[in-house]
Amino acid sequence: MRSQTTLLVIASLLATFFTYNHFVNLYSSLKSLDFTSLTSAAIPEFSLTQLLSQKVEVEYESQPKQAAELCPLVPYHHSSKYPGNKPLLEKILHSSKFRQASVPKLQGAVQIPTESHDDDPKTIEEDPEYWSKFSKFESYLNKTFPTFYSHPNITLHKVNHHGLVYIWTGSNSTLKPIVLMAHQDVVPVPDTSRHLWEHDPWKADYDGVYMYGRGVSDCKNMLIGEIEAAEELILSGFKPQRTIVFSFGFDEEVGGERNHNAKFLEEVYGKDGVVGIFDEGGVSLLDIGGSQVAIPGTGEKGYLDLKIKLSLKGGHSSTPPKHTAIGLIGKVIVEIEDNEFESYFTEVNPTYWQYVCLAEHSVDLDDALRQDILNSQFDPEANKRVREFIKSDRKTRYGVMTTQALDLIDGGSKTNALPEFVELTINNRVIIEESLEDVKQKYIQDVLKVANKFNIGVNYVSEKGEKEIIKTPEAGDNTFMKS
């Protein structure tokens, strides 16, 4: 994995953001840094509660809405504090001396393996030694950032042992705090594939341009960058009016069930008690139709892990059936991957507004595509063309459709024994136009096509219990699903 080390633009956000009321002004601070090619357009605010409570139906309107009214440009804003902050920003962005001092800080963090696994202990108390790697990581932060740790207005709260919440108290208690987030854990590096890395994932090699290793972009770069930016601001004499919270979880890669930072912050500040968050996300800068577009995340897709399990009678591999359990699961896999989820381009999805703003304000966008975007809600063919355009690039396609990633498969125990059990795990990121039930039903239909062809029973297992969809044949074959 590779990550550019010029990651401390975060300091510019810290130095300029806290006098603003809305995240959209982030565009203006970026323009102050001469990123003049960015397209800056306000994204209309959505009520998540309203979106979740309404039934989504794709209907094309009879009249197009005026994009200019729905997507006004953000007025240019040049912070009065910018002249005073400019020397610090120039140092962070352009000083080779600063970069060389910054590199080993990220390297040291990457060199501490903080892997999360799907079968991690459910509680810290169950196996404290297993989780001690995060104590080692926090000790490294303490040693590496003494100015940050010793600041009298910064307090560290350890939530459920290893969740790190640093609160930098501001001078104006009437202002809601801002939360800067990252996570300490990284996805595992299997021993079976470690030798395939061009650079060892735990060495954090740096070639003068890129750093290579597990966590350099997901997301120890953000964690180290946020603390390092704070240290630079402290050394420059910066004193925030707005309280700044740094929240670093330790099991993000496996669902976050053990990390209670959000609950802690709600207890401290109440519901809706913060002005906003700054966190990792998808692609932040994209080339769309020739325009460079900055894309702050305004929402998150739904999430579903689903398992498909197949049980068959065993036997000796010298007399196999035409299709073993692994072969039958293979046919299910083909059925699933050959039938992707539907795509949507509707007003309930933030992706729609991103493209409407692009169509309204970009001077580089193809005129035919521009008209299709603006006509998409009353012209089905235009809508289809826009969806096909978005889907043509893997970086953008999943803004309009649910993902299906077949990530895990397990089955068989011996080379000369027929597999009696096979399990397939699928990860899904669900588009706002679909429900979790829609996703489950899609997989049920995929399984049924194979089950009906090969006379296999199907049971559906969910949190509500088990339901028989196709009766298990006398032979004892049985396929079932678990959400």
Query: How far apart, in whole angstroms, are the C-alpha atoms of residue 325 and residue 333?
Result: 12
Same-domain check for residues 329 and 464: yes
pLDDT-derived band at 42 (thresholds 50, 70, 90) equals very low
Residue 252 known to be catalytic: yes
- Checking if the pLDDT of 13 tops 50, the result is no
Same-domain check for residues 164 and 219: yes
pLDDT in tens, 268-303: 999 999 999 998 877 778 788 777 778 777 778 999
Same-domain check for residues 242 and 306: no
Considering 185, 226, 228, 433, which one is annotated as catalytic?
Answer: 185
Same-domain check for residues 7 and 115: yes
CA nearest to 329, candidates 347, 354, 311: 311
Between 408 and 362, the higher pLDDT residue: 408
The answer to whether residue 192 sits within a structural domain is yes
Residue 474 known to be catalytic: no
User: What's the total number of domains in the chain?
Assistant: 2
Q: What is the pTM of this model?
A: 0.74
The answer to whether residue 294 sits within a structural domain is no
The domain of 432 spans: 301-341+402-483
Considering 228, 251, 252, 434, which one is annotated as catalytic?
Answer: 252
Sign of torsion, CA 396 402 407 409?
A: negative
High-pLDDT (> 90) share of the chain, %? 64
Same-domain check for residues 94 and 200: yes
Q: What is the rounded average pLDDT for all residues in the chain?
A: 84
Query: How far apart, in whole angstroms, are the C-alpha atoms of residue 230 and residue 242?
Result: 14
Same-domain check for residues 308 and 435: yes
pLDDT in tens, 328-345: 999 999 999 999 999 999
Token pair 């840094």 is found at: 33
Would you state the pLDDT for residue 364? Answer: 87
Same-domain check for residues 151 and 213: yes
Would you state the pLDDT for residue 481? Answer: 54
Q: Which two three-digit tokens encode residue 49?
A: 């509660």
Q: Which of 133-142, 169-178, 288-297 has the lowest mean pLDDT?
A: 288-297
pLDDT-derived band at 82 (thresholds 50, 70, 90) equals confident
Of 257, 274, 291, the residue at which a domain comes to its end is 274
The answer to whether residue 450 sits within a structural domain is yes
The answer to whether residue 421 sits within a structural domain is yes
Would you state the pLDDT for residue 66? Answer: 57
Same-domain check for residues 150 and 266: yes
Highest mean predicted confidence (pLDDT) among 53-57, 399-403, 457-461: 399-403
Would you state the pLDDT for residue 73? Answer: 75
Same-domain check for residues 408 and 333: yes
The answer to whether residue 349 sits within a structural domain is no
Same-domain check for residues 206 and 322: no
Run of H or E residues at 149 = helix 146-150
Token pair 């975007």 is found at: 373
Would you state the pLDDT for residue 17? Answer: 34
CATH number for position 155: 3.40.630.10
Same-domain check for residues 306 and 255: no
Is 27:13 a contact under the CB 8 Å cutoff?
no
The answer to whether residue 150 sits within a structural domain is yes
